[in-house]
């Protein structure tokens, strides 16, 4: 008899072509996607690995961040999520999933392009929950695909860097001031750090910077007993995709750029973040954990 818990990973989720999508404006909303992403809300089973912990997740309202928030809550952690004000509907839905899991959820609307906000979300998290034990630097800007370097104007590149890497510096700096030994920082990188796509070169370059940031910061903070790691996703079915690529590319997303011939679902990433936040990874720091559907990062 077949074991129902074992599945063929190439067929576990929908494969392209997908229904005709609307091209979204950044940051996009989960509610605007068809099919809806799987965030693990019906499938993730916790086992108390993060009991008593407090996590702050930037970009935690939707996509990967939402899946991580749900998983952390199921593992026993209280969660704070930051997001743009225009993503309030997604944030409210994420809060419902977290609270149904038995955890508390703090909503922190604002803009990571503002330096003060990067530190304020840490202070608000500590004020609400009394501590912060895990920071997930996850929020990102991925602009529309372009045809050449000439189309990447200074303002766009500067904004991408401000959100995708400068906010990591500022938020991490604020968090470390409150963190005790055993705490963790997890950065969201990308396979784009290793296989950059020219049409989103600004985004890809920031993801390479996150790899360097992770490795360098891990060396500094290990003396404080704080571990720093990175998860590098491949192509995943999130609003960021529909806000970046034209309709024809969205329809076939994952078919060409993942050996599994499909995009990953946010739920398939959650376990990687739980591992890096928990005692299971107590001897792991400075690591880049790739979850790419077979894409090679070495």
Give the pLDDT confidence of 217-227 residue by residue, as tens digits: 999 999 999 99
pLDDT of residue 4: 55
**Residue 74 domain-assigned?**
yes
**Residue 297 domain-assigned?**
no
* pLDDT at 2 > cutoff 60: no
**Residue 117 domain-assigned?**
yes
Calculate mean pLDDT across residues 91-117: 97
Calculate mean pLDDT across residues 121-132: 98
pLDDT of residue 244: 72
Indicate which residue of 13, 117, 203, 273 is catalytic: 203
The more confidently predicted of residues 62 and 251 is 62
Query: pTM to 2 decimals?
Result: 0.93
Angle of helix 267-277 relative to helix 63-74, nearest 10 degrees, comes to: 60
Query: How would residue 292 be classed by pLDDT, with cut points 50, 70 and 90?
Result: very high
Structural domain count of the chain: 1
Among candidate residues 297, 269, 292, the one with its CA nearest the CA of residue 136: 269
The more confidently predicted of residues 254 and 123 is 123
Q: Is 117 a catalytic residue?
A: no
Question: Of 143-152, 204-213, 238-247, which one has max mean pLDDT?
Answer: 204-213
The dihedral through the CA atoms of 164, 36, 233, 249 has a sign that is negative
The more confidently predicted of residues 30 and 98 is 98
pLDDT of residue 210: 98
Q: Phi and psi at residue 32, in whole multiples of 5°?
A: -95, 0
pLDDT (tens digit, 9 = 90+) per residue, 51-73?
999 999 999 999 999 999 999 99
The domain in which residue 168 lies consists of: 41-289
The more confidently predicted of residues 16 and 74 is 74
Beta strands in the chain (DSSP E): 54-58, 78-83, 105-109, 134-137, 184-188, 227-233, 288-291
Compute the distance between CA of residue 282 and CA of residue 247 in angstroms, rounded to an integer: 43
**Residue 143 domain-assigned?**
yes
Calculate mean pLDDT across residues 152-166: 97
* pLDDT at 102 > cutoff 90: yes
Query: At 120, which CATH number?
Result: 3.40.50.720
pLDDT of residue 5: 74
**Residue 89 domain-assigned?**
yes
**Residue 72 domain-assigned?**
yes
* pLDDT at 197 > cutoff 70: yes
Query: How would residue 18 be classed by pLDDT, with cut points 50, 70 and 90?
Result: confident
Place of tokens 């910077």: 209
* pLDDT at 249 > cutoff 80: no
The more confidently predicted of residues 4 and 190 is 190
**Residue 3 domain-assigned?**
no
Query: How would residue 1 be classed by pLDDT, with cut points 50, 70 and 90?
Result: very low
**Residue 184 domain-assigned?**
yes
């Amino acid at each position: 008899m077949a074991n129902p818990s074992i599945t063929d990973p190439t067929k576990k989720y929908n494969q392209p072509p997908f229904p005709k999508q609307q091209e979204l404006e950044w940051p996009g909303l989960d509610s605007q996607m068809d099919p809806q992403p799987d965030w693990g809300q019906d499938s993730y089973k916790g086992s108390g690995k993060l009991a008593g912990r407090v996590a702050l997740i930037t970009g935690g309202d939707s996509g990967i961040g939402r899946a991580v928030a749900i998983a952390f809550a199921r593992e026993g952690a209280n969660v704070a999520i930051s997001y743009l004000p225009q993503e309030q509907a997604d944030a409210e839905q994420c809060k419902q999933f977290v609270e149904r899991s038995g955890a508390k959820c703090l909503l922190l609307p604002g803009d990571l392009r503002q330096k003060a906000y990067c530190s304020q979300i840490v202070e608000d998290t500590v004020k609400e929950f009394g501590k912060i034990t895990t920071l997930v630097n996850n929020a990102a800007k991925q602009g529309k695909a372009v045809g050449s370097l000439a189309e990447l104007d200074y303002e766009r590149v500067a904004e991408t860097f401000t959100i995708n890497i400068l906010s990591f510096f500022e938020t991490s700096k604020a968090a470390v001031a409150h963190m005790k030994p055993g705490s963790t920082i997890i950065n969201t990188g990308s396979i784009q750090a290793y296989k950059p796509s020219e049409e989103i070169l600004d985004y890809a370059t920031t993801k390479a910077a996150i790899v360097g940031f992770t490795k360098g910061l891990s060396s500094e903070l290990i003396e404080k007993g704080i571990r720093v790691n990175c998860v590098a996703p491949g192509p995943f079915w999130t609003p960021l995709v529909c806000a970046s690529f034209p309709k024809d590319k969205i329809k076939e997303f994952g078919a060409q750029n993942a050996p599994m011939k499909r995009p990953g679902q946010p739920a398939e990433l959650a376990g990687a973040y739980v591992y890096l936040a928990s005692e299971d990874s107590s001897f792991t720091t400075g690591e880049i954990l790739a979850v790419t559907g077979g894409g090679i990062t070495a």
